[in-house]
Amino acid sequence: MKVRVDPERCQGHTLCAMRAPKVFELSEIDGHSSPVTEDVPADQEDAVVEAVRSCPERAISVF
Amino acid sequence: MTTAPDDTGDEARKQPRVHFDRHAPEYRHHFEEKTQEFHGGCPLAWSDTYGGHWVAAGNRELLAFARAGEKLSNDHDVHGERRGYQGISIPAPPRGRGLRGGFLEMDPPEQRAYRGALNPYLSPAAIKRWIPFIDEVTRACLDERIESGRIDFVDDLANIVPAVFTLAMMGIPLKKWELYNEPAHAGVYTPPNSPEMARVVEAHMAMIKDIAATLQEVRATPRPGLADALARMEIDGKAPADSDLIGALALLIGGGFDTTTALTAHALEWLSEHPAERERLSREREALLDTATEEFLRYFTPAPGDGRTVAEDCEISGKQFKEGDRLWLSWAMANRDPAVFADPDRVDLARGGNRHTAFGLGIHRCIGSNVARAVFKRMLLHVLDRVPDFVCDPEGTVHYETIGVIQGMRHLPATFTPGRRLGPGLAETLETLQRACDEQGLAEPVTVRKAEAKLR
Ligand code: SF4
């Protein structure tokens, strides 16, 4: 599984980092999110799916 | 929902029709029914109230508006210099107030400049540094009441902690919290025709005067904080007008004070009514604190919505809009959208997929969202640890009469088994905390100071 955060859509709601703190990193400056790496570790896949479902801006995609 | 007989001209566009008056006292009592009516077939409808405006209640629709970019405007043109737009309140506040509601009543690029200046004070990393400070204010508030076995969760806790913390971040002396407290809450819940209004206006003026004085002070003698960030900011090499800076500071006060109070009071009232859920939340806090916080945000949505003005003729979400149309984005109703939330009128502390809109959507996402979450969570944990058996008194509970602006509470008295104090009272604590702010520069942005506040 790979994950991407659309920087145009992300507004820094931080729910992704609550659901999958090992996968998403929040900018120290404005709290906007980016994945630590594009490849999701197998044991994080469920957490990432939950992050996708929780993002208010629908900014996260997995493929 | 009705279909108007007049289908000629511009009226044909304004379909379906609803009667929507969120300032009416009845709205609070019929919120769920009214919301179900919207979700039942008109998630985007026209209401003739307040000069006529669209009402968006569906999550999908709100997302479409959040992504509509320049087709919508937040501008409040108080001096009639641009297109006369009326900002984010419907109806707009009486003319002559002369202040824009800060960057929430601005569009990019101006709005972006403000957010850029303030974000490094309000990001998750910036707020984390303040946790010991928030804990210490909370501890002192509870100590003031803990031996008596009685507390008003609004007056004695949820009004104080957000107020003191907001002033600390701004760089305003903590002991002034009461000067700001009255207008920040009473200014929201007092109906325009109330005999109390004259006093509220007076308190509001005193607050605005103090904000203006703060701005002058930090210019003369810089001290860190949000006020300093605004005093130093430039847009295209020019300082913004003082009135805009004062509006921005007043917005931070309004956003920082009343909303977190509202969330905390509603959550505590609910937990008192559901003691088994309260025990479960306390016991399983590692797993539940985050999801429960988001669920309380969804269910109680302290700031129920925002207005916009359509800035060009366009089509959004399948409807035709004309430049100048007013639009109400109901974050509160979208948070009960059954298309997104299973069993939306039920509180589920472990709810998954909670893509709620309590902080809005799009570029105007509440800039204080990380403040609200942190302050709420710390207050909640202290209450669960120190007065775990609290019982709220419905007789003494006072909700805001109308929830058009903030879904708040004025009083929430409760009783509990008395406990022991852990430290000094509020006045002494605020003096200690003020010294910490001054000596450690706690209100610096995270780009300047990374360390957590040290209080012992
Ligand atoms: S939840 Fe969505 S909007 Fe929020 S930080 Fe994560 S990606 Fe960005």
pLDDT tens digits, B301-321: 999 999 999 999 999 999 999
Boundaries of domain holding A51: 3-62
Q: Assign domain B9-440 to a CATH class.
A: mainly alpha
Nearest CA-CA partner of B101 in B233, B244, B201:
B244
Q: Give dist(CA B147, CA B144) in Å, integer.
A: 8
CB–CB of B242/B102 below 8 Å? no
Residue among A11, A26, A54 minimizing CB distance to B365 = A11
What average pLDDT does chain B have?
92
Please state the rounded mean pLDDT for residues B126-143.
98
Determine the straight-line distance between the first and last CA of chain A, rounded to whole angstroms: 6
SS3 B95: coil
Strand pairing category for B44-47 and B17-18:
parallel
Confidence at residue B195, expressed as pLDDT on a 0 to 100 scale: 85
Residues of A in contact with B125 (CB under 8 A): 26, 28, 31
Give chain A's domain count: 1
What is the CA(B386)–ligand 1 centre distance, in A?
34
Q: Give dist(CA B191, CA A3) in Å, integer.
A: 49
Residue among B66, B352, B447 minimizing CB distance to A29 = B447
Q: CB A11 to CB B290 under 8 A?
A: no
pLDDT tens figures, A3-19: 999 999 999 999 999 99
* Structure confidence at residue B254 as a pLDDT band (50, 70, 90): confident
- Indicate the residue type of B80: G
Confidence at residue B96, expressed as pLDDT on a 0 to 100 scale: 44
Domain residue limits, chain B: 9-440
Q: Which atom of ligand 1 is nearest to the CA of A5?
A: 7
pLDDT tens figures, B422-441: 999 999 999 999 999 999 99
pLDDT tens figures, A10-61: 999 999 999 999 999 999 999 999 999 999 999 999 999 999 999 999 999 9
* Structure confidence at residue B242 as a pLDDT band (50, 70, 90): very high
- What contacts B425, CB < 8 A, 6 or more positions away? B140, B143, B144
* Structure confidence at residue B217 as a pLDDT band (50, 70, 90): very high
Q: CB B124 to CB A18 under 8 A?
A: no
Confidence at residue B94, expressed as pLDDT on a 0 to 100 scale: 65
Confidence at residue B129, expressed as pLDDT on a 0 to 100 scale: 97
Q: CB A56 to CB B370 under 8 A?
A: no
pLDDT tens figures, B61-80: 999 999 999 999 999 998 88
CB–CB of B118/B126 below 8 Å? no
